[in-house]
Every structure is written in structure tokens, then in C-alpha cells.
Amino acid sequence: MDIQANIYCEKDSHKGILIGKGGKMLKNIGSLSRAEIERLFATKVFLELWVKVKPDWRNNEFMLKMLGYKK
């Protein structure tokens, strides 16, 4: 199973925190997420993650609907 996912944050400084020094934090997030998905679906998973900055995305109706937070 191949999964591509975006992680949204509001500021560049948040992006740096999510990625971490040398990408260690993002690697950890990806490894833990992949392991959980593999456990849930009982299959191998290839997970690609991207961190994207979208200012004020939490207050954007379109973004919230697109991400499944609102109907």
C-alpha cells in the first residue's frame, strides 16, 4: 500500500519543528505512523510525508472541509 500525506502547519517555524534536525522528527512521525497503519491493515506500507505551511488553515472553511473536519 502506497500512501502520500501532507502535514499542515501555520508557520515556517512550526515546519522546522515538525521536520526536526536533519529530518529526525519527521522520520520518527513517519515510522510510527507507518507501523500503526501496517498493524491496522495487516500489509506493508510505503508512506511519503510532506510538511506544508498554510497560514491560518485552521480557520479556513474550505481547508477544514477538504481535510474532513467539517461537512
Grouped pLDDT means (10 residues each) for the chain, 71 residues:
95 94 95 97 97 92 88 70
9 located within any domain: yes
* Enclosing domain of residue 41: 2-66
Structural domain total, the chain = 1
Which of 1, 68, 66 minimizes the C-alpha distance to 36? Answer: 1
Q: Cβ neighbours of residue 30 under 8 Å, at least 6 residues apart?
A: 47, 49
Instruction: Give the sign of the dihedral formed by CA 24, CA 26, CA 32, CA 37.
Output: negative
Residue 13, domain CATH: 3.30.300.20
Identify the pLDDT of residue 21. 94
Report the predicted TM-score, pTM, of the whole model to 2 decimal places.
Answer: 0.81
71 located within any domain: no
Identify the pLDDT of residue 70. 78
